[in-house]
Structure 1
Amino acid sequence: MHPRVVEELLKGVSIRRTAAITGVSVSTVQRVKKSNSYSCSGYLEVQKAS
């Protein structure tokens, strides 16, 4: 999982900028965005509870 990527995307940071900030590839950011497009906020709540 990539909680930092999700956090940046929720802030409205671009895909390329998110990749640069987090140190993951643009492809990874795109996959995370796609897989979490409907559940990002729920994902963060689960991460915070852990």
Structure 2
Amino acid sequence: MESESAKKKLIDRIHPGAIYLLHAVSKTNAKILGEFIDETVKKNYQFTVD
């Protein structure tokens, strides 16, 4: 359930101009990343790599 909690925390904090730093060594981050991206795109947000 840790991954669901982490994903909910991220999704609840989506807002214009948000910057997310997810560490690659975190198994939880790796597990939720795809779902987080999908949910964010559904809300019409975009990602950039700067």
Shared topology, TM-score over 0.5? no
Greater Cα radius of gyration, structure 1 or 2: 2
Quick check: which one's helix share is greater? 1
TM-score range, shorter chain: 0.3 to 0.5
> 1 or 2 for the larger relative contact order (CA 8 Å, sep ≥6)?
2
Q: TM-score, normalized by length of structure 2? A: 0.36
Normalised TM-score (structure 1): 0.36
